[in-house]
A and B are shown apart, each in its own frame.
Chain A
């Protein structure tokens, strides 16, 4: 047993898992408040990362300024997307809603490949020191940064939903749209807000992952990896999304360790989460924290 490799992989797993958790949170946010399953979540990430990279490299902005501009861009993007594409589909059957987000994902994937190119591009170094020593483990600064950002986002979500007026309006809408509407909540603006928040937070996650690895269209695969995380945690639970993300992140790194050390099958890293997904769906379809769908005749 190679213990130092295992612990290193587990730390990576937690860091990557936190990011999965953040993306899963965005996914759950959209699902909970608008009943839309967003298959284009991965493209949001890539878009945020590319826009920030473009601002830093081509516009020669400081990283912090570019970061803020990206957030503004993603907000507008999310709102426009909801207004133009998703609003006409409110009340349509589930297959239409799934297919429209898949269509969006294809559209934006090829559009971004066209504009920004296929090759992976690394961010210019943003931090002065590349890695720090913590508890005898070598941790990249970008990882630490991503961990901090993830925690800040999670705390922000917690505060937003617990104490802010808009967060309460959102929770009310998620609970029952008609009741929320009759209490004077504008369901339309809640929907737009859900997409805007989701786009912004995915954009942040995209930038952070771009810092850790490099920016390319392959980042969109995280949008698919989110599914095991949300199914494990429960589709409509934000806490579950975070926990599911961390578990999936650690699990895939453990799978890689087992694969590399003992089995030598290859590719277990990408495929293990999907086996977990099938198993969870078979034995506990509503996940760890999801609400059970009780049907009355």
Chain B
């Protein structure tokens, strides 16, 4: 049924090929292409500030995609994702300064280095799961944070390390607009990679481990292998995102990769939708925009009702609180996330006057 242009209301696919296609309808493909073209032209359309937000969305989106492979697809909870994100940032800067490999190549190499670390910290996952694993990853977050502060040869210790500007055949990617294209490239590559992983044999094995690990094991899936593999894949994307982040800021310091960032990554995939590729990106957009929206909202309240001018001092706190509140409200009222809600809206538009 890959030829249909509209999705029927129901699951009427008859072949495995149709079930596993990357773009279930022609229109989803067309919309993706249109979206990509709009993004490619966006430096012409919007100002520099929005471009910088888009870069952040892309970087966080890549890391959130990785976390989604671990949490959404494999069902393992990681509270240490920002430590891997930070490890990627440090290792790209370190590789670049010690071996003088160009930055464009150190970025994926940093991803691979982070994969190795992720595989090591994933070893406990072979024995424990669920809550115990969450606590183990919490410990790995603190251990890696401590490592960042201590390993001066690698991270520059408390003073941090400098990440060189990326060069693209002699063109320095030093402005936001130039760097935006690099981030866009890696975001698209990551999205396609994760979407393809979901359709592959390994991806189905990961989902089987999540849904019922005993049945999965009985069906011949090597639990240990896939649990650790999920950690490896997720830390690859974390390292990739982190490396981009480091070269974007030009400076990497250990203070940026605390547990708060790990929680924000988890918030992204929960708000966006567990196990969904567009969901991870939507979640990243949500978490990046939330502080901006709160800022605008507070200014609006103050300008319309000067009685509340006391809110001005608490702006920073309101922004932090809004993240916590967003997590709680989403879990109570929309546990399936934005991606699910989008599907609902699409359905109700399609079926409009006769929804039953």
CB-nearest residue of chain B relative to A107?
A: B324
Residues in chain B near residue A105, CB distance under 8 A: 324
Is A295 engaged at the interface, CB distance under 8 Å to the other chain?
yes
Report the Cα distance A92→B335, complex, angstroms: 9
Tell whether, in the assembled complex, residue B327 and residue A227 are in contact, meaning their CB atoms are under 8 Å apart.
no
Complex A-B: 7 CB contacts under 8 Å: A95-B274, A99-B266, A103-B325, A106-B320, A227-B135, A278-B124, A285-B132
Selecting from B23-31, B142-150, B231-239, the interface stretch reads B142-150
Among B136-154, those with CB < 8 Å from A are: 136, 138-140, 142-143, 146, 149-150
Q: A102-B327, A110-B317, A275-B143 are in contact. Are A85 and B332 (CB under 8 A)?
A: yes
9 tightest A-B contacts by CB?
A107-B324, A103-B327, A106-B324, A110-B320, A114-B317, A274-B139, A103-B328, A110-B317, A271-B146
Q: A85-B328, A85-B332 are in contact. Are A106 and B323 (CB under 8 A)?
A: yes
Interface size on B, residues (CB 8 A): 41
B122: min CB distance to chain A, Å? 12
A-B contact count (CB 8 A): 120
Report the Cα distance A179→B158, complex, angstroms: 56
Is A104 engaged at the interface, CB distance under 8 Å to the other chain?
yes
Residues in chain B near residue A138, CB distance under 8 A: none
Is A247 engaged at the interface, CB distance under 8 Å to the other chain?
no
A291: min CB distance to chain B, Å? 13
Is A7 engaged at the interface, CB distance under 8 Å to the other chain?
no
Tell whether, in the assembled complex, residue A297 and residue B128 are in contact, meaning their CB atoms are under 8 Å apart.
no
CB-nearest residue of chain A relative to B133?
A: A281
Among A201-245, those with CB < 8 Å from B are: 224, 227-228, 231, 235
B345: min CB distance to chain A, Å? 23
Is B270 engaged at the interface, CB distance under 8 Å to the other chain?
yes
Tell whether, in the assembled complex, residue B128 and residue A99 are in contact, meaning their CB atoms are under 8 Å apart.
no
Is B53 engaged at the interface, CB distance under 8 Å to the other chain?
no
Q: What 0/1 readout, one digit per residue, does chain A (261-291) give for beta carbons within 8 Å of chain B?
A: 0000111001100110110011001000000
Residues in chain B near residue A110, CB distance under 8 A: 317-318, 320-321, 324
- Given contact pairs A111-B321, A277-B136, enumerate 10 new A-B contacts (beta carbons under 8 Å): A92-B335, A95-B77, A95-B270, A99-B266, A99-B327, A100-B328, A103-B327, A106-B327, A274-B143, A285-B127
Report the Cα distance A94→B75, complex, angstroms: 10
B178: min CB distance to chain A, Å? 35
Is A130 engaged at the interface, CB distance under 8 Å to the other chain?
no
Tell whether, in the assembled complex, residue A107 and residue B328 are in contact, meaning their CB atoms are under 8 Å apart.
yes
Residues in chain A near residue B138, CB distance under 8 A: 224, 227
Report the Cα distance A76→B246, complex, angstroms: 46
Report the Cα distance A89→B127, complex, angstroms: 27
Tell whether, in the assembled complex, residue B143 and residue A278 are in contact, meaning their CB atoms are under 8 Å apart.
yes
Is A37 engaged at the interface, CB distance under 8 Å to the other chain?
yes
Among B113-130, those with CB < 8 Å from A are: 124, 127-128, 130
A171: min CB distance to chain B, Å? 21
B142: min CB distance to chain A, Å? 5
Q: What 0/1 readout, one digit per residue, does chain B (69-87) give for beta carbons within 8 Å of chain A?
A: 0010001010000000000
Tell whether, in the assembled complex, residue B328 and residue A281 are in contact, meaning their CB atoms are under 8 Å apart.
no
Tell whether, in the assembled complex, residue A267 and residue B139 are in contact, meaning their CB atoms are under 8 Å apart.
no
Report the Cα distance A224→B325, complex, angstroms: 21
A229: min CB distance to chain B, Å? 11
